Structures are given as structure tokens and as C-alpha cells.
Chain A
């Protein structure tokens, strides 16, 4: 079955530590995205990538970094510079353009120890 796989489902970070969230898709989609979701909030765009080796900052990119070395993979690193990282992180993909319907992974819930 085609889909988006995010891992881990739950992640705990110590102060001053960088952590990387994995996102893999086998839908052959060109575009991939990372969103952050806080309770009672909508989805806020962190980074997006429309093709391999290219990505753009979203609305809340500070404290995060990404890479897109392969079409299938778009990992997100939450750096120690992100002072409030506790949130639900969702990875998504779409066929190509950003206005196409997006398919989401199951998400990673990040908490601070």
C-alpha cells in the first residue's frame, strides 16, 4: 500500500539536544511538507520541498532544518534553537503543486524531558 510513514510515533528530547523526525513516502509525490500542530491550533507550515535538493522555509522555520536528498525522504531536525518544540509534527506530500490535495503521515509527538 502506498502512503507516508513517519517515525518515531513518540519522541522525547532533552534540553540542548537536536532530534530528527523521519518521513518517507512511496506515493511517488514530488512535493513534501512539514507541519506543526499545537492544541487548538491549525497546521502551521515549517518547511516544504517541491523537488529533490530544494526546499523552502514556511511560516515557522526558525529552530528547524530539513534535507531532501531523495524524492522519497524528507527528514526534519528540531534543533536546540527551537525553544518550544513540544508539539505534534505532521509530514505530508502531494503530487506536485502545493495546491494539490495533501496526504498526511500519522505524525510524531515530540515532548521535552
Chain B
């Protein structure tokens, strides 16, 4: 079945270092969404990318959608302790449902 693979599963960084998580799909996606889940919390929608090659920025976060619309990435510049959490990508499947990746758990050492 359709899958959305996300790597790495875990990432430990020193505060101030950069962080990137990657998302890959076996099929072309109509759009991709990114969510953040803080420890003990629920996923919160961050952004949606729709166009091929699209790049969007939110302060220190940069989101990219690949040219073939099969991959995406989230890059955080100069991580802070407030960035701690699990970041999920989610692509729209053939039935129109969202398929979530397993997430990348980010920990930041002060």
C-alpha cells in the first residue's frame, strides 16, 4: 500500500545546531502537510505544500516540496529548546486520506 517514509526516526542536537527531517513517498502526492507534536501533546498543523518545488518559511523553519512531488523536507535553523517534539509529515493518499509518516523525534540539549 501507499507509504510515507520519514527519516531519521530520532535526532539529538545541541541547541543552536540545525536540524532536518526528510519525507519520501512511493507515489506522487497532491500535497503534503507537516505537523508538530510536543511531548504529551497532540499534533498541531504547521504548513501545507501544494506546488512542485514549493518552498515556504516560518521564521527558523523552512519547508520544501520536491519537484516530483514525492518528497519533502523540514529544516530548522539554530534549534532552540522550544523546538523539542516529534515532527510528522503527511501526504494525501489515493483515497484522499492523509497518510502520516512515523515522525522524527527531536531532542535539543541546552
Interface string of B41-57 (1 = CB under 8 A from A): 11111001000000000
Which of A10-18, A22-30, A78-86, A103-111 contacts the other chain? Answer: A103-111
Which of B13-21, B62-70, B77-85, B93-101 contacts the other chain? Answer: B93-101
Question: Contacts of A42 on B, CB cut-off 8 Å?
Answer: 6, 88, 100-103
Listed by A's residue number, 24 A-B pairs whose Cβ atoms lie within 8 Å are A40-B102, A42-B6, A42-B102, A43-B43, A43-B90, A45-B98, A58-B97, A90-B42, A97-B96, A98-B92, A98-B97, A98-B98, A99-B30, A99-B96, A99-B98, A101-B33, A101-B48, A102-B33, A102-B45, A102-B98, A104-B42, A104-B43, A105-B42, A106-B41
Interface residues of A in 44-91 (CB under 8 A from B): 44-45, 48, 58, 90
Alpha-carbon gap, A99 to B49, bound state (A): 11
Contact in complex: A104, B44 (CB < 8 Å): yes
Task: List chain B positions with a Cβ less than 8 A from chain A.
Answer: 6, 9, 30-31, 33, 41-45, 48, 88, 90, 92, 96-98, 100-103
| Contact A99-B88, Cβ < 8 Å, known A43-B43, A45-B97 | no
Alpha-carbon gap, A85 to B19, bound state (A): 34
12 further A-B contacts with Cβ under 8 Å, apart from A44-B100, A45-B97, A103-B45, are A41-B102, A43-B88, A97-B96, A98-B96, A99-B31, A101-B33, A101-B45, A101-B48, A102-B43, A102-B45, A104-B43, A107-B42
Question: Contacts of B96 on A, CB cut-off 8 Å?
Answer: 97-99
Question: Contacts of B44 on A, CB cut-off 8 Å?
Answer: 104
Q: Number of residue pairs across A and B with beta carbons under 8 Å?
A: 47
Alpha-carbon gap, A90 to B45, bound state (A): 14
Alpha-carbon gap, A44 to B100, bound state (A): 7
Alpha-carbon gap, A44 to B98, bound state (A): 10
Question: Contacts of B101 on A, CB cut-off 8 Å?
Answer: 42
Chain B residue with the shortest CB-CB distance to A109: B40
Contact in complex: B43, A90 (CB < 8 Å): yes
Tell which of A41, A58, A102, A105 has the most Cβ of chain B within 10 Å.
A102
